[in-house]
Amino acid sequence: MPAPSTRCAPRPSSCRPGRSATPAPGSRSSAPPASPATPGRRSPTPPRCTGTPASPPRLPAHPVGPGRGLRRTGRLRRRAGRGHRRDQLQPVPGRRVPAGLLTHADRAVRDRAIAHHAECVEVMRATGSTDLKLWLPDGTNYAGQDDLRARQDRLADSLQQIYALLDPEHRLLVEYKIYEPYFYAMDIPDWGTSLVHCLALGDQAQVVLDTGHHAPSTNIEFIVMQLLRVGRLGAFDFNSRNYGDDDLIVGAADPFQLFRIMNEIVEADALGRAGDGTAGVNFMLDQCHNIEPKIPGQIRSVTNVQEATAKALLVDRDALHTAQQAGDVLGAHAALTDAFATDVRPLLAELRESAGLHPDPNAAYAASGHQDQLAADRVGGTQASWGA
């Protein structure tokens, strides 16, 4: 969204300004088609350079007044994809509730949090967004601090009340994360917990898979497969991790993993947009560009996903399935690795040109002078921050 949300909890890697959300190929965003990125263009944003739809807005964790919210609406509509994210940290800026919000033992606290979600749904109606994305870092730090089961019961009740606010075309997307900022027990630590709540809520509730929110060595493509299998994969937050929730450029640490994830997407025919008979997965980035330039970093992220997708589309499915049926271990494995080893960059360049885009998105952006113009325009301005 135009201004980063205010978040005061100590999220060292993933709560800073500069996180982005740009749908990848096959996104279900309803944003208008990208236009060619040519040098000198007024605003050669990553979507315009890469051919992807625009970013969904992101709302602050704390309530905003109607005036502020509505003043933003016009900008949100222009920038919006299909969803917006509700950050779930504290009821007011600077005041953290250590026992969580939607799981808090005090009903009044839960009611305030639910009321804020009602405000978010109003913004969705005003902007045409369809996805309410919930990231919930509620949890406990110590054994015995709270009753684990009671917290799940309270969470189920809170989610039910939020779900009841949705219009028929809306979705509630529930994200999970193994830790942070609570290191004993997160209230939604894994895809299983998220799925259990979504199944209890109804068909409009689906799981968000953030690739950085798992334990090391987790087989993420298995989770992708399983959620697609039961029709509950609502969205991706793409990023790359080496240790914790690093929020690095997707595909940076393990491009083969990104390929394996996209392979499951392709295998399930889930690349398409909502309403066209496919799963309607919303592909987004959830990253933090700290040392690299942010816009080129986003462009690189999108092209990484495009390359992984292209490779997944090149897998010889017939050969793969035949080898699998025959018990040909190496033949089946080779069907994947051969596709992964293919250099798809020339193919993608050709595809972009056929769509009226520059064949090299990063080169197009560099030549545009947009970054220099931004820097010149903002001399003397106030640096963006959590409160921006």
Identify which range of 184-192, 235-243, 263-271, 290-298 contacts Mn ion by CB under 5 A.
235-243
Q: Does 307 bind Mn ion (CB under 5 A)?
A: no
Which tokens belong to 110? 């839960």
Judged by CB under 5 A, which stretch of 15-23, 166-174, 230-238, 334-342 contacts Mn ion?
Answer: 230-238
234 vs 361 by CB, closer to Mn ion: 234
**Residue 286 is a binding residue for Mn ion (CB under 5 A):** yes
Q: Which listed range, 28-36, 100-108, 223-231, 280-288, lies at the site for Mn ion (CB under 5 A)?
A: 280-288
Q: C-beta of 39: minimal distance to Mn ion in Å?
A: 34
| Contacting range for Mn ion; rule: CB under 5 A; set: 51-59, 166-174, 206-214, 330-338 | 206-214
Q: List, as one string, the DSSP characters of 10-64.
A: --TTTSSTT------TT----PPPP----TT-S---HHHHHT---PPPEE-SS--
User: Could you count the other beta carbons within 10 Å of the beta carbon of residue 115?
Assistant: 13
Q: Which residue has the tokens 């993420």?
A: 220
Q: Which is nearer to Mn ion, 221 or 245 (CB)?
A: 245
Contact flag: residue 146 with Mn ion (CB under 5 A): no
How far apart, in Å, do the first and last CA atoms of the chain sit? 11
User: In the range 20-49, which residues lie near Mn ion by CB under 5 A?
Assistant: none
CA angle, residues 226, 227, 228, in degrees to nearest 5: 90
CB of 190 to Mn ion, least distance (A): 14
What gap in Å lies between CA 213 and CA 232, rounded to an integer? 18
Instruction: Indicate the helix (H) or strand (E) that contains 300.
Output: helix 294-314
The residue (of 11 and 96) whose beta carbon lies closer to Mn ion is 11
For residue 133, give the DSSP letter.
E
Q: Which is nearer to Mn ion, 146 or 237 (CB)?
A: 237
Which of 131, 138, 210, 245 is close enough to bind Mn ion by CB under 5 A?
210
Interface with Mn ion (CB under 5 A), residue from 221, 237, 245, 264: 237
Q: Which is nearer to Mn ion, 209 or 271 (CB)?
A: 209
Which lies closer to Mn ion via its Cβ, residue 23 or residue 44?
Answer: 23
In angstroms, rounded to a whole number, what is the distance separating the alpha carbons of residues 304 and 286? 14
Provide the angle, in degrees to the nearest 10, between the axes of the packed helices 220-229 and 191-201.
Answer: 10
Q: Interface with Mn ion by CB under 5 A: which residues?
A: 210, 237, 286
